[in-house]
Amino acid sequence: MPKQAIRTAVKVDLNTPAWEQPQLHNRWHPDIPFSCKVQPGEVVNVECLDWTGGQIGNNDSADDIKHCDLSRIHYLSGPIEVEGAEPGDVLVVEIQDVQPFAEQPWGYCAIFDKNNGGGFLDSHFPNAAKAIWDFEGIFCSSRHIPGVRFPGLIHPGIMGCMPSQELLDTWNEREKELVGYHASIGTDRVVANLPLEKFTHAGSADSDSAAKVAKEGARTIPPREHGGNCDIKNLSRGSKSYLPVYVKGAGLSIGDLHFSQGDGEISFCGAIEMAGIITIKCDIIKNGVKDMCMKNPMYIPGPVEPHYGPSRYLTFEGLSVDETGKQHYLDVNVAYKQTCLQFIEYFKKFGYSGEQLYILLSCAPVQGHIAAIVDIPNACTTLGVPVDIFEFECLPKEGGFDKIIASDCALTSGK
């Protein structure tokens, strides 16, 4: 039979508040009703808002980042019922395309205020900042970070199936235990986000079900066994994800689309966030969870990504020794922070601010790796930055560098 036009399974309205759109939700819970149904092997389009539901504007102020209401995030499209999917099956999701909306050819990357989300380096960069990125086909550039242009690797940050009630209860119990432990020892930062009734959006659920979702629904912030907010940049066009199914119909939800992201998405809002359309095809592997001994999702990367020769990456190293000189034992977290900070200090020599570089490190096609994790006491991590994203020569040389950048990213007004 001839190919049919691709159906839009989930449609969104960029001019309607996200919480008024019944085909969206912002919590994980098995009682959230399906927004649509697809058949195995059917190719469909799924439209998505940006992760905040439209709270961030294309402007030159980071006030919207500073005051972004994180109790509302993430707004996801779905849940999508996949005909024939049963608990214990594996849902195979092939991503065929991801594009921004033609009427909104821009995205943003930001540093969240330390007291509202924070990020990997929030002890060094505690204040909100933002960069707007304009899309030109496969390329992007920013008026807030001049001298840089690169192709995107567009992908969803979030993709997952609805949990069963049993799995949801497990999540809530273990995360509550973690929060309680850190409260008992006086930890001064948020270690997990427990269910929050404020601004819960349960899609088209009736009032009783919506109240239950608000009370029990898991936040969408972390990745979990079902998939969720994995932020894997290689889940782009042509990729296949293998997701465990926990409820009849699977309940697939997708959102948090990224035009580009560096490994780690370190500034929390570290990808180039955008609204757009993702084209997917779902298939089912019956009894796949048992047959493949699956505990967490698996994936096959797509064949499409920006290509830079191995010798065109300037690669920085980091060790398990923090900026005060304190030795840590095989601490990959400490090592990767030092790797990132070294990149930032190096490129400051060209005139960039620390905030610009923190944002760039989060969204550019950088390659982060664990190089060694057995050579006590130091873990070694690396961060490779493709030098060809810069419109000037930036490789090490004798005599230092000229400052060629004289502008900054969008900052807050102080209000």
Contacts of residue 136, defined as CB under 8 A and 6 or more positions apart, other chains included, come to none
Q: Which of 265, 250, 239 is nearest to 157 (CA)?
A: 265
Tokens 């969204």 appear where? 363
Phi, psi of 257 (to 5 degrees): -70, 140
Estimate the share of the chain in helix, then strand, then coil, as percent rounded to the nearest 5.
20, 30, 50
- As given in the structure block, the two tokens for residue 301 are 């990367």
Angle at 5 between CA 15 and CA 281, to 5 degrees: 85
Global pTM value? 0.96
Per DSSP, the three-state class of 273 is strand
Per DSSP, the three-state class of 277 is strand
5 vs 124: CA distance, rounded Å: 50
Q: What is the pLDDT of residue 165?
A: 98
Query: What amino acid is encoded at 390 in this protein?
Result: F
35 vs 77: CA distance, rounded Å: 8
- As given in the structure block, the two tokens for residue 368 are 């982060």
Q: Which of 250, 257, 195 is nearest to 221 (CA)?
A: 195
Q: What is the pLDDT of residue 2?
A: 63
* Residue ranges of the chain with per-residue pLDDT less than 50: none
Contacts of residue 114, defined as CB under 8 A and 6 or more positions apart, other chains included, come to 122, 123, 126, 127
Q: Is the Cβ–Cβ distance between 127 and 372 less than 8 Å? A: no
Q: What is the pLDDT of residue 406?
A: 72
Q: What is the pLDDT of residue 349?
A: 93
- As given in the structure block, the two tokens for residue 307 are 């290509």
Q: What is the pLDDT of residue 76?
A: 98
By CB atoms closer than 10 A (0-12, 13-18, 19+), residue 95 is buried
Q: What is the pLDDT of residue 401?
A: 81
Q: Which of 16, 6, 38 is nearest to 250 (CA)?
A: 38
What does the DSSP 8-state code read for residue 295?
Answer: S
The distance between the two most distant Cα atoms of the chain, rounded to a whole number of Å, is 69
Angle at 69 between CA 188 and CA 219, to 5 degrees: 70
